[in-house]
């Protein structure tokens, strides 16, 4: 579900002219991986790690040391959102971002 949501978001941003976005999988030379990388004009923009089997965050090493992208998010099954170098969002909140009519607003008029 996270992959489909990100793909929909990337397609929407491209359709409305916000940039030239693409969705990738990334792994570094030490074979540490992050589930998703969103690039804008081939430059890292957003790293997303989905830990839907976890209820609490535990950002992987690549995300913790990842100033390579403007944003880093870990999506967990449930819990409270957390700010920091790696933002933590519960899946319900992450998947509730409506990407079609009003970019970045939550469904239900938020």
Q: Using one digit for the tens of pLDDT, what is the confidence trace for 54-78?
A: 665 666 655 655 557 788 888 888 7
pTM of the entire predicted model:
0.73
| Percent of the chain predicted with pLDDT > 90 | 24
- Evaluate if residue 93 carries a pLDDT over 50: yes
Helix residue ranges per DSSP H, 1-110: 2-15, 61-64, 91-95
User: Per 3-state DSSP, what percentage of the chain is helix, strand, and coil (rounded to 5)?
Assistant: 20, 35, 45
Say if CB 62 and CB 50 are below 8 A apart. Answer: no
Under DSSP, is residue 9 helix (H, G, I), strand (E, B) or coil? helix
């Amino acid at each position: 579900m996270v992959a489909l949501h990100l793909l929909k978001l990337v397609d929407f941003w491209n359709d409305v002219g916000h940039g030239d976005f693409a969705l990738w999988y990334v792994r570094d030379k030490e074979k540490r991986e992050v589930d998703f990388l969103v690039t804008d004009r081939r430059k890292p923009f957003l790293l997303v790690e989905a830990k839907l089997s976890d209820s609490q965050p535990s950002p992987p090493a690549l995300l913790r040391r990842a100033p390579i992208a403007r944003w880093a998010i870990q999506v967990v099954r449930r819990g409270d959102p957390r700010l920091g170098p790696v933002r933590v969002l519960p899946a319900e909140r992450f998947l509730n971002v409506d990407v079609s009519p009003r970019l970045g607003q939550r469904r239900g008029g938020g």
